[in-house]
Structure 1
Amino acid sequence: MHKHMLKLARFMAAAGGLVLTLLILLTCLSISGRLLNGFFHGDLMGSVAPDFAEWMIAIGVGPINGDFELVEAGVAFAIFAFLPLCQITSGHASVDILVDNFPKRVNRFLRMVTEIVFAAVLVLIAWRLAAGLVSKLYNGETSFLLQFPIWWAYAASLVAAVVAAIVGVYMGAVRTIEFLTGRILVWDGVETEQ
């Protein structure tokens, strides 16, 4: 089961990485276009090569219309897409100054409680995203510039959030079994033998 959950988490992280890469390219192209547009509208190009400057502006050299809308929607998906891998590999930030000195059983209890709380929060987020998706779907709200339906971004984020919730619940169950049995089921580098 763990192997399948890990594959699912890695797939989601790869999808999030792909989306982030595309958003970076989009942002770079938009910023470059904005700079070139300003350059072609400037006094230097107006005096040195006005016909070329007008031609470049006419073919559409400039910022990408609605880039911030696409970045907003894409980053929301990417954040949720990275959560499952972070959850299953214990990649969340933690401060272990005090707990390192606790007995093994106390540390396992704390890990179990933390995983259960994470799972509950991820389920809550997925549930509220689903409610937001239904709301946006029925009210027909669209983005300002590109006029794409807002529910598309909610739907993409919901898929990633549901996967995060599933992985979170799985890890909560794993840590609960580990606490109850005293055996380590998933080695992640955080568990220590004391």
Structure 2
Amino acid sequence: MHRFMNGLARNMALLGGIVLTLLILLTCVSVLGRGINTFLHSGLGEALLGGATQTLLDTGVGPILGDYELVEAGIAFAIFAFLPFCQITNGHATVDIFTSKLGVNANKFIQMVVEVVFALVLMLIAWRLYDGMLSKMRYTETTFLLQFPVWWGYAASLAAAVVAALVGVYMAGVRSVEFFTGRRIIAPAGGADH
């Protein structure tokens, strides 16, 4: 079971990384286009390039239409796509000023409670994303520039949030079994300690 959940979390993180990389490239190209467009509209651009400025402007040099809309939907997906991997690898930051002084059993109990609460929060988020998606579908809301349905971004985020919730529930189960049986199934505290 752990191998499957770990693979699912890794694949979701890889997909999130691909989307994030594409969004970075999109943003860079858009900013570059915006800069070139601004330069071509300037007096300096006109003086240096003469009539070529209008030719370049006629090709459509400028920012990518709807770049903000694509980044908004894509970043939301990427964030949810990284959550399962962070959860299964204990990658969340922890502050152990108080808990470092407690015994092993107390720390196992705290970790179990945190995992259960986190799983519940992830399920709540997935549920609310589902409700939001249905609402956007019902009212056929679209983005301003690209006119693509807003629910598409919700659906992508929902898919990643459902995977995050599944991994969260799995980790809550693992930590509960570890606490009640005393066995160690997954090593704790792989995250950044502060």
Report deviation, 1:167: 0.1
Q: d(CA) in 2 for partners of 1:27 and 1:104?
A: 47
Moved more, 32-41 or 93-102: 93-102
Partner of 1:180: 180
Report deviation, 1:124: 0.2
Q: Structure 1, unaligned stretches of length 5 or more?
A: none
Partner of 1:25: 25
Report deviation, 1:187: 1.7
Partner of 1:63: 63
Q: d(CA) in 2 for partners of 1:9 and 1:188?
A: 17
Q: Report the AA paired with residue 84 of structure 1.
A: P
Q: Report the AA paired with residue 118 of structure 2.
A: F
TM-score scaled to structure 2, two decimals? Answer: 0.96
Report deviation, 1:190: 4.7
Q: Between the two proteins, what is the percent identity of the paired residues?
A: 58
Partner of 1:137: 137
Q: Give 1:1-194 correspondences, 5 Å limit.
A: 1-190=1-190
Deviation per CA, 1:90-141: give whole Å up to 9, x if none. 1111101121121111000000000000000000000000001111111100
Q: Structure 2, unaligned stretches of length 5 or more?
A: none
Deviation per CA, 1:150-174: give whole Å up to 9, x if none. 0000000000000000000000000
Report deviation, 1:189: 4.7
Cα RMSD after superposing both structures: 1.1
Q: d(CA) in 2 for partners of 1:177 and 1:46?
A: 71
Report deviation, 1:50: 2.3
Count of aligned pairs: 191
Which portions of structure 1, spanning 4 or more consecutive aligned residues, are displaced by more than 3 angstroms? 188-191
